[in-house]
Structure 1
Amino acid sequence: MKIKWLLIIAIVIMLAPMTVYANEQTQIEKLDMISDEALQMMKFHRYEDAKKLLDYFSEQFTNISNDHSFTMDELRIVTVSHDEAMEAAVNSSMEYDERVTKMTKFRLVVDAISTSHQPLWIEMKERILTAFQQAKEAANSGDSAHFHTNFNTFLSLYNIIYPSMKIDVSAENIQRLDARINFIDEYRAQVVNNMKSLQELDGLETDLKDLFDNMDEDEADPSLWWVIISTGSIIILTLSYVGWRKFQAEKEMRKNRSRSNKD
């Protein structure tokens, strides 16, 4: 009986972290849904509704951040993107496209903190790489005007995903991308006719493809491994207990038979 209770306690201990994790996920998923609804309201020009959702998000995020272990960088990025989204919701003089862009950045940031793999921002991969490749082709062909136009398009798209990237991508990779992009942007007037700048474009293209390819890898959510290990441990423990009880029962039966034969 004592072993039976030990087994029950062990199972409860193993399941407790899984329950806490599930609650945290439910709370964060709620934030994700709020940010998505706010974006939809912005797209439909329902700015007052978008503002109300952002206010509600702020309240919920404050409550959740007290219990969830967000990093300082994550808190800062969410706060900044939320402030920009709020500005977009209340600033009637802001152009519609800029409003949607700011809210989209916020939406991607919230998704990044709520998703450990396959975040939404990588869905912009094709648009970003296409704009960059067009800029690179223009530079290689000596077409300065088209290079500037396409590189500006690339920068606009890249800036949308940049805050969420900083949540999912290592600081080292971010710094390398920043260095290449800043160099090309600063010396863009010489890019078309400068071999070193053209090589920098090749390097940036490689880094961008590596960035998206690494994020595209459909690796299992680390939390899933905890569930698998915990569940497996429970099953093994249960089977071990059942096997032990069966062994004890058979041992007792053999003893009884031995006694009966002696009698």
Structure 2
Amino acid sequence: MKAKWFIILAIIMMLTPISVQAKQQSPMEKLDDISDEALQMVKFHRYEDAKKLLDYFSDQFTSITGNEQPLTMDEVRIVHTSHDEAMEAAVSPNMKYEERINKLTKFRLVIDAIATSHQPLWTEMEDQIMTAFHQAKDAALNGDSAHFHSSFNSFLSLYNVIYPSMKIDVPVENIQRLDARINFIDEYRSQVVKDQKSRQELDALDTDLKNLFANLEEDEADPSLWWVIISTGSIIIMTLSYVGWRKYQGEKGLKKDRSRDLKD
């Protein structure tokens, strides 16, 4: 009976901290939710509602950075720039729908990169980016200049969406190496299509892009997840140890009783 109550108590102790933690939300996580809501409004063509959310975000962000300054100056600059672009997309009378979505997505990814310590959302665009790049690379290898230009433009458009959030999560030397390769290919497009030696830059960029996403995927898991795993494992071990100890004590008592019976 005591073992049953011990197990119940252990489960309560294990779940209580998790429940408390789940209810707590940091200021940046709240801003992350606002940025997501603004993106959803633009997706549904509700531009005035998106503008209101972006105005509210600006007020809240100013309050956070003014009181605590939890961000670096570079991060603050990136947030302001992406927010300005998102606001432009919400209020512009002529901007195309796809461009509006790209600017709000860029803003959303920036806030997520700051609010999230693991697996940022921008890494989920890996398949789209790599597909566009590989189409451009194949076109260059086949000497198809028109297809190369259109595919590389698609790649640049997608890369531009994740670029600000990349700068938050990726070491500056890696960003600079990617910039150098992309700028070279973009400036010497005709040469890349015609010259085999210049096409080697495509192979090098392919490797750098794969490493970019692979390194982010290898980041450690969320610390709270490790806390859950360790806590759960510890409680299970404690419970099994206690049950085993009770069983041992019970068997030990039975042996003593049998010994007495034999003596009697």
Tell me what 1:71 maps to: 72
Tell me what 1:40 maps to: 40
Relative to structure 2, which stretch is displaced further, 92-101 or 112-121?
92-101
Identity %: 72
SS in 2 for 1:205: helix
Is residue 201 of structure 1 aligned with residue 202 of structure 2?
yes
Tell me what 2:50 maps to: 50
Tell me what 2:108 maps to: 107
Structure 1 distance, partners of 2:188, 2:28, is: 42
Structure 2 distance, partners of 1:210, 1:59, is: 38
**Counterpart amino acid of residue 86 in structure 2:** A
Structure 1 distance, partners of 2:77, 2:223, is: 24
Q: After TM superposition, give the deviation of residue 78 of structure 1 in Å.
A: 0.3
Q: After TM superposition, give the deviation of residue 64 of structure 1 in Å.
A: 1.4
Residues 211-251 of structure 1: per-residue CA shift (max 9 Å, x gap):
001111251236777x69xx9xxxxxxxxxxxxxxxxxxxx
Q: After TM superposition, give the deviation of residue 195 of structure 1 in Å.
A: 2.0
**Counterpart amino acid of residue 118 in structure 2:** H
Normalising by structure 2, what TM-score? 0.75
SS in 2 for 1:197: coil
Q: After TM superposition, give the deviation of residue 29 of structure 1 in Å.
A: 1.0
Q: How does 1:126-145 map to 2 (within 5 A)?
A: 126-145=127-146
Structure 2: any 5+ residue segments left out of the alignment?
1-19, 232-264
SS in 1 for 2:198: helix
Tell me what 1:97 maps to: 98
**Counterpart amino acid of residue 210 in structure 2:** K
Tell me what 1:221 maps to: 222
Tell me what 2:81 maps to: 80
Structure 2 distance, partners of 1:186, 1:223, is: 46
Structure 1 distance, partners of 2:224, 2:199, is: 43
SS in 1 for 2:45: coil
SS in 2 for 1:196: coil
Q: After TM superposition, give the deviation of residue 63 of structure 1 in Å.
A: 1.3
**Counterpart amino acid of residue 99 in structure 2:** E
Tell me what 1:242 maps to: none
Tell me what 1:182 maps to: 183
Tell me what 1:169 maps to: 170
Q: After TM superposition, give the deviation of residue 161 of structure 1 in Å.
A: 0.4
Tell me what 1:30 maps to: 30
Q: After TM superposition, give the deviation of residue 172 of structure 1 in Å.
A: 0.3
Pair 109,68 (structure 1): closer, same or farther in 2 beyond 3 Å: same
Structure 2 distance, partners of 1:73, 1:48, is: 29
**Counterpart amino acid of residue 27 in structure 1:** P
Q: After TM superposition, give the deviation of residue 86 of structure 1 in Å.
A: 0.4
**Counterpart amino acid of residue 80 in structure 1:** T
**Counterpart amino acid of residue 59 in structure 2:** E
Structure 1 distance, partners of 2:177, 2:222, is: 27
CA RMSD of aligned residues (A): 2.3
Structure 1 distance, partners of 2:214, 2:45, is: 35
Tell me what 2:61 maps to: 61
Q: After TM superposition, give the deviation of residue 135 of structure 1 in Å.
A: 0.5
Structure 2 distance, partners of 1:156, 1:215, is: 21
Normalising by structure 1, what TM-score? 0.75
Q: After TM superposition, give the deviation of residue 68 of structure 1 in Å.
A: 4.2
Tell me what 1:211 maps to: 212
Structure 1: any 5+ residue segments left out of the alignment?
1-18, 232-263
Structure 2 distance, partners of 1:36, 1:74, is: 18
Structure 2 distance, partners of 1:222, 1:64, is: 24
Pair 222,68 (structure 1): closer, same or farther in 2 beyond 3 Å: farther
Tell me what 2:148 maps to: 147
Structure 1 distance, partners of 2:134, 2:110, is: 26
Structure 2 distance, partners of 1:67, 1:157, is: 33
